[in-house]
Amino acid sequence: MVKAPTTRIMRTTRPARVPGPGGADGLPPGLPVAGHRPLRASARRAATFAAPLIALVVVWAGVKSLFGLSDDVLVSPAATARSAAELVRLGILPAYVSASLWRITLGAVLATVIGVPIGLALGVTRYGARMFEPFLRFFQAISGIAWLPLAVVWFGFTNTTIQVVILYTAMVPIVFNTLIGVQLIPDIYKQSIQTMGGGRLRLIRDVYFPGALPSIVVGLRLGIGYGWRALIAGEILTGLPGVGTLIFEARKFHQIDQILAGMVVIGVLYLIVDRMVLAPVERLTVQRWGVVRA
Amino acid sequence: MARLGLRLLPVVPFLGLLVVWVVGWAVARPTLATFPSVSQVVQTLGDLIESGELGRNIAASMGRWGIALVTATITGVGLGLLAGLSGVIAKILEPLAIFFTAMSGIIWLPLAIVWFGLGTTMIVFVIWNAMFFVIFSNTLLGVRSVPGLWEDAIRTLGGNRRQVVSQVVLPGAFPHVLAGMRAGLGFGWRALLAAEIIGATAGLGAMIFNATDFLRSDIILAGNLVIGTIGLIIDLAILVPIERRTIERWGMVSVTRRRM
């Protein structure tokens, strides 16, 4: 039976396998993740993953030469790689990438630090979810990008604008999913802590937080996904140094090779952030504590 | 009476926000460039509706979004099913799907502008891009996660390949397909706004961005309210009923459902 991902807090001594929230962030699982795995298996998985991508590059080169596409439409993989190398040599790419990464990290960290407690607080109240769900859905629908114009009016074309929009964009899914996560916890765990004389603090530490953690991670993933796109949009709009600006400015001078190089970098960056950072967080916490997504 | 109270509960945060807004504005008295008052927004909303401007922009935005949605669903689900049914193709396409999903949407904006110029085609392409990869990835996942047992069951009853596909694979993959569509709708909506804000032709995004030039925060806020409401309506009025009539009727639990 295809079941919904429910949270079961189990007492288990062996690490449970977390299938991953396929679909929640739009990304299916299946990419090799950082972590403790036998070297040969992960090498093999990496190769299996890389092969189609290499094939794609070949197809890319083939399309370019076969159809004789001009450099205004598509550039060959070689030219793209050359462009990327040039950008690195000039120091532009590292600077822009680090600027963008800085923004998204700051936004994600702040959003988590502020959003998770709010979500917990809303979730533990009796009708919290019921009351705030449509409210949060509404603001999720507006999406950070729609606030960009207002942020520009307030803060001008500055870094603050981008940062604020990222913070908002990331915070809504985090709060929402934390709230849902708490609501999913079966009452019996709260009751068992209470029968043993546990107070509010212990409840939060031993029941609510670990129990809601899978959902929190889903929320964090979503938040970073949305926040990343808001980051790109914000950079394009304000023109401040960043990967978004890189590809947008290159458009003005019809430097397709730079655009493509930038796009690939962005895609790879996002994959790295999602798989190499978030997945291990998931494993180290959710798996270790035995909270399984059935 | 308690029943009524329960149903009205979701309204409370909105009312709270409204109160904060009214009181805050009365106390701080910000300029129109900073933040509008409730009455200003309401009035602007009325003006926009009356002049037909709101209607035109909504139509432009929804039109683009609708075209992209239909195209993305057909291509995404179709290709996803085809890919999923053949194990070999699925293995080849899966990494590509993951990579392109990471790169989807407004990241294609500059390239799309180079290819299609500014305008509707470009915007539709960007939205399609954002939606397609998400829907495709999830459909692929959905097809592959249908338990082999179900296919075996149909075969033991004498079913042929066509019946396996229509009676097992399609319904079995549906929860994931729907989850993908839900995610796709969200990403598509965002891509629409971003493309319109940056591409600046007619549409809701363009409307609120043009207001920036004139420092008209009331237009921006009115636009945002409309955007949020439309998004909410789409989510509640389209997805949830579909979910209810298909997945829950068939006895499966959707991927996005949760206990209250």
What are the residues whose beta carbons fall under 8 Å from the beta carbon of B57, sequence distance 6 or more? B202, B203, B204, B206, B207
Domains assigned to chain B: 51-248 (1.10.3720.10)
Say whether A239 sits in a helix, a strand or coil: coil
pLDDT of residue A3: 46
Token output for B186: 């969200």
Give the β-pairing of A7-9 and A291-293: antiparallel
Mean pLDDT of A285-293: 55
Q: Tell me what pLDDT residue A163 has.
A: 92
Taking the Cβ of residue A28 and every Cβ of chain B, the question of whether any pair is shorter than 8 Å is answered with yes
In angstroms, what is the C-alpha Rg of chain B? 22
Q: Which of A187-196, B51-60, B89-98 has the lowest mean pLDDT?
A: B89-98
Mean pLDDT score of chain B, rounded to an integer?
81
Lowest pLDDT segment from A8-22, A105-119, A200-214, A272-286: A8-22
**A-interface mutation test, from B99, B122, B234, most A Cβ less than 10 A away:** B99
Per residue in B174-215, pLDDT (tens digit) is 888 888 888 888 888 888 888 888 876 788 888 888 887 788
Q: Give A204's DSSP letter.
A: I
- pLDDT at position B70: 92
- Considering only CB atoms, A73 lies closest to which of B13, B115, B141, namely B115
* A251/B108 Cα distance (integer angstroms): 11
Contact (Cβ atoms closer than 8 angstroms) between residue A98 and residue A240: no
Please answer yes or no on whether A53 and B187 come within 8 Å at the CB atom: no
- Cα separation values, B132 from B72, B123, B228, Å: 5, 14, 23
Per-residue pLDDT at A172: 92
The two three-digit tokens of residue A17, written as one number: 């396998």
B189 and A143 in contact by Cβ < 8 A? yes
- The predicted structure's pLDDT at residue A23: 41
Q: What percent of chain A has pLDDT above 70?
A: 80
Taking each helix axis from N to C terminus, what angle separates B120-144 and B87-102, rounded to the nearest 10 degrees?
140
Could you give the percent of chain B with pLDDT greater than 90? 9
* pLDDT, tens digit (0-9, with 9 covering 90-100), for B122-161: 899 999 999 999 899 888 888 887 877 887 888 888 877 7
pLDDT band at A170 (very low <50, low <70, confident <90, very high): very high
The stretch A263-271 carries a mean pLDDT of: 86
Of chain A residues 123-152, which have a CB less than 8 A from chain B?
Answer: 127, 129-135, 137-143, 145-150, 152
Residues 55 through 114 of chain B touching chain A, CB cutoff 8 Å: 91-103, 105-111, 113-114
| pLDDT at residue A25 tops 50 | no
ipTM of the shown complex: 0.79
* Residue B43, SS3 per DSSP: helix
CA distance B241 to B237: 7
Q: Quick check: B190 and A130 CB within 8 A?
A: no
Confidence of residue A293 (pLDDT cuts 50, 70, 90): very low
What local confidence, expressed as pLDDT, does residue A20 receive?
A: 41
- Residue A212, both tokens: 């809601």
- In this prediction, residue A285 has a pLDDT band, given cuts at 50, 70 and 90, of low
A206 within 8 A of A180, measured Cβ to Cβ? no
Quick one: three-class SS letters along B170-224? HHHHHHHHHHHHHHHHHHHHHHHHHHHHHHCCCCHHHHHHHHHHCCCHHHHHHHH
Torsion of CA B247, B249, B252, B257, to 10 degrees: 60
Q: Verify whether the Cβ–Cβ distance A2 to B252 is below 8 Å.
A: yes
Interchain CB distance below 8 Å, A26 and B147: no
Tell me the pLDDT of chain A averaged across its residues.
Answer: 77
In this structure, what are the phi and psi dihedrals at residue A292, rounded to the nearest 5 degrees?
A: -105, 150
Separation of alpha carbons A104 and A125, rounded Å: 31
Note the pLDDT tens digit of each residue in A93-152: 888 999 999 999 999 999 999 999 999 888 887 777 778 888 888 888 787 788 888 888
pLDDT of residue B251: 58
Alpha carbon of B51: minimum distance to chain A alpha carbons (Å): 22
**What pLDDT sits at residue B257?**
42
pLDDT at residue A18, rounded to an integer: 40
Give me the residues paired with residue A164 across strands.
none
> Alpha helices of B52-166 — where are they, by DSSP H?
53-85, 87-102, 109-116, 120-144, 148-156, 161-164
pLDDT at B126: 92
What confidence score (pLDDT) does residue B250 get? 60
Closest CA of chain B from A199, distance in Å: 24
User: Residue A292: what pLDDT?
Assistant: 46
DSSP alpha helix (H) spans, A125-158: 128-155
User: What is the band of A16 on the pLDDT scale with cuts at 50, 70, 90?
Assistant: very low
Q: Shortest CB distance from B92 goes to which of A52, A145, A183?
A: A52
- Give CA–CA dist B57/B61, Å, rounded: 6
In whole angstroms, what is the distance from residue B37 CA to residue B43 CA?
Answer: 10
pLDDT > 70 fraction of chain B, expressed in percent and rounded:
92
Amino acid at A43: A
Enumerate the β-bridge partners of residue A291: A9
pLDDT, tens digit, 9 for 90 and up, residues B3-25:
777 777 788 888 888 888 888 88
pLDDT at A13: 38
